[in-house]
Structure 1
């Protein structure tokens, strides 16, 4: 009898400890971390696996991407990586080391296009069927939420009705996910021009928990330019789009400020200069820059690739633009605009000043995740948390589930 009583007391104590741990997560501004699942295939030091993720830096981690087939059925885009190799299960298991972490699955992305999503959103039957698929997958793998990255309604093969149908799709997802306490979010273009055509902003913000503004890839194509400008520099043309403008537009359209998440890049956009001596913003170019060793995409360099160049080349030159909250660097004919810890902190300060909901980063696998260029790993993620004033827990290992 005594042994039984002690056992019950121990169980109650463990329950109370567990409940306390779950209900007393540190108060932090949301840091939404996208992870590109294809990063596992990058060569050498650029390969990024789930085991490389430090879950203490993020409040939310979003696994990218799932997709849909032509029948509107939710599907894995890489069955070997996601299912056979256990990608979905491994990413969700990160909650064991950080019980406060929310792990989500994203659908869509640029390469998925828009036409299939336009068809999916067109009828009530297809929307409800899709929402049921999503709900079942959330439960099956233990995801905490679902992120919709349709690029973009009404465009790239879409139809005008997409603007209204997108709201209806989000409403169908919300009806299935909310009763089971799942998060629903979206990622949207940071272009005001695109947003006016694609989104009924007040309506979509009613249906979702947060909206991530994809604050990057805003560069010109015919000359060097900053791809993630916060505000206008005095030398910028008046029609230059900035992050400040898209934030103001979302506010003006009735989206609650706390639902707006400002996205920042962990990569740069590069060009090949016509003349290495003319290396300022607006300089003439021959085209996009050469591909990086790890990411292997022309015109794109991960922050880890950029800081490798800075570390190994004494002739690398940086220039900071204070109002853009951006930096550009050049070496010979290579020119690249990007964010570093200094500019990330400046953007985090803007988030606090504007009382936005938090920050998002695309994507953690191109941060300096091995600490090759500094004293510690993930300098951009650290800068986000520092700028937002987030206190990082020293360890979650004491929490016992």
Structure 2
């Protein structure tokens, strides 16, 4: 599954994190000489996307690289420590900036040359483009669509010549049809991977003709907190944490272990666990939705059943690097075991990095399950967890398979 040379199951496990973390962690790393990647076991990943937020401050996007302020020196350390790891630069920006570059050949070639030089000079393995339209309605859709395809084609030609990776992540758009925004099928011919964050969207993309092996499903492991600033001025820790917008997995564990949990159920609508608890200080009821090892195992299983190229984990520093969370015993409850299928369900002994370990283990189990003889599949979520009667994607997929 995973070794000192990385995962061995043959699927991509793409780990993503910011080159510039938020202020307090960034200050800590600079004072100690460490980086956020020193707290992550990248042997559990096949790829690392290094998202550089400094690209959002660019004024001349045809030559953005002088504006990059992040420190890339520790990439060389990662390269030595994890020789199997493919490290790509990820850039975040309004897609219209990129589309405009491709509308002018001089700007386009300038951008491609500077991108190639930057990747090579920093010993990176590729580039990940994050497509996002801040306001899609103000753009000429047909020309923007064509320009984006041109940019991808030109980049791919130059990158493949150097055996570099070119991947893309696509933001969620709700008002436009898929074909209206991007030419997914043509883009798939030039991209190594295409990242999406909704399995429903993946289904539609596959129907258009995009090879499943090119598709990566994204999991976001940071959780949005619903807590309002409630603190005592004498409690510095509570004061600092009252401003936290996102919680890491180990912080959720701490939250639920130090407060009275009323219920913990699986929500089929969000496909996440939902915990209802009473705050010990305010005595008020709160709820929080989050990814558990149970939800990630089932989502990974569905991705494998779609024959996707792999999974992507956003914010890998949100995993429990110190093993502070109790080992969950229900992680693989929904994996099928009957007389026709024998699965070697792993017994978790190492409490560190439970989310990344679960994803890798779930990939192995799902591939093993799929490789065994056909059998009736019961994909219903455990009744003790189900919070409503909305069918899950596991159930819908199983019914679809059984109909043939």
For normalisation by structure 2, the TM-score amounts to 0.69
For residues 157 and 92 of structure 1, do their structure 2 counterparts lie closer, same or farther at Cα, with a shift above 3 Å needed?
Answer: farther
1:168 equivalenced with 2:150 (yes/no): yes
1:101 and 1:172 map into 2 onto residues whose CA distance is 25
1:397 alignment counterpart: none
For residues 71 and 97 of structure 1, do their structure 2 counterparts lie closer, same or farther at Cα, with a shift above 3 Å needed?
Answer: closer
- After TM superposition, the structure 1 = structure 2 runs for residues 243-392 of structure 1, keeping only pairs within 5 Å, are 243-271=198-226, 296=243, 298=245, 300-315=246-261, 317-322=263-268, 325-331=271-277, 332-374=284-326, 376-389=351-364
Displacement of 1:329: 2.0
1:131 and 1:313 map into 2 onto residues whose CA distance is 53
Secondary structure of the corresponding residue to residue 194 of structure 2: strand
Q: Is the 8 A contact 1:146 1:183 kept in 2?
A: yes
1:183 alignment counterpart: 165
1:146 equivalenced with 2:98 (yes/no): no
- Residues 184-230 of structure 1 deviation map (CA, whole Å, 9 limit, x = unaligned): 000012456454432111111111000011x2xxxxxxxxxxxxxxx
For residues 323 and 387 of structure 1, do their structure 2 counterparts lie closer, same or farther at Cα, with a shift above 3 Å needed?
Answer: farther
1:218 alignment counterpart: none
1:292 and 1:365 map into 2 onto residues whose CA distance is 22
1:36 equivalenced with 2:18 (yes/no): yes
Q: Is the 8 A contact 1:32 1:59 kept in 2?
A: yes
2:372 alignment counterpart: none
2:362 and 2:152 map into 1 onto residues whose CA distance is 32
1:328 and 1:198 map into 2 onto residues whose CA distance is 34
Count of matched residue positions in the alignment of Structure 1 and Structure 2: 315
> Which is worse superposed, 335-344 or 155-164?
155-164
Displacement of 1:318: 1.9
Secondary structure of the corresponding residue to residue 318 of structure 1: strand
Secondary structure of the corresponding residue to residue 312 of structure 2: strand
1:49 and 1:295 map into 2 onto residues whose CA distance is 22
- Residues 292-311 of structure 1 deviation map (CA, whole Å, 9 limit, x = unaligned): 9569554x333233222122
Structure 1 runs (4+) deviating above 6 angstroms are 44-48
Displacement of 1:44: 10
1:264 and 1:28 map into 2 onto residues whose CA distance is 19
1:77 and 1:294 map into 2 onto residues whose CA distance is 32
1:155 equivalenced with 2:136 (yes/no): yes
1:99 equivalenced with 2:86 (yes/no): no
1:95 and 1:174 map into 2 onto residues whose CA distance is 23
1:198 equivalenced with 2:181 (yes/no): yes
> Which is worse superposed, 324-333 or 96-105?
324-333
Q: Is the 8 A contact 1:55 1:97 kept in 2?
A: no
Q: Is the 8 A contact 1:367 1:378 kept in 2?
A: yes
Displacement of 1:96: 1.6
For residues 205 and 361 of structure 1, do their structure 2 counterparts lie closer, same or farther at Cα, with a shift above 3 Å needed?
Answer: same
- After TM superposition, the structure 1 = structure 2 runs for residues 17-96 of structure 1, keeping only pairs within 5 Å, are 26-39=8-21, 41-43=23-25, 49-65=36-52, 67=55, 68-75=58-65, 79=69, 82-83=70-71, 88-96=72-80
For residues 41 and 179 of structure 1, do their structure 2 counterparts lie closer, same or farther at Cα, with a shift above 3 Å needed?
Answer: same
2:241 and 2:107 map into 1 onto residues whose CA distance is 39
- Residues 303-332 of structure 1 deviation map (CA, whole Å, 9 limit, x = unaligned): 233222122223363211357532122333
Q: Is the 8 A contact 2:44 2:357 kept in 1?
A: yes
1:235 alignment counterpart: none
2:159 and 2:189 map into 1 onto residues whose CA distance is 14
For residues 191 and 205 of structure 1, do their structure 2 counterparts lie closer, same or farther at Cα, with a shift above 3 Å needed?
Answer: same
Secondary structure of the corresponding residue to residue 369 of structure 1: coil
For residues 125 and 174 of structure 1, do their structure 2 counterparts lie closer, same or farther at Cα, with a shift above 3 Å needed?
Answer: same
For normalisation by structure 1, the TM-score amounts to 0.70
Q: Is the 8 A contact 2:323 2:352 kept in 1?
A: yes
- Residues 315-355 of structure 1 deviation map (CA, whole Å, 9 limit, x = unaligned): 36321135753212233343322211110000111011111
1:25 and 1:312 map into 2 onto residues whose CA distance is 35
> Which is worse superposed, 201-210 or 115-124?
115-124
Displacement of 1:43: 4.8
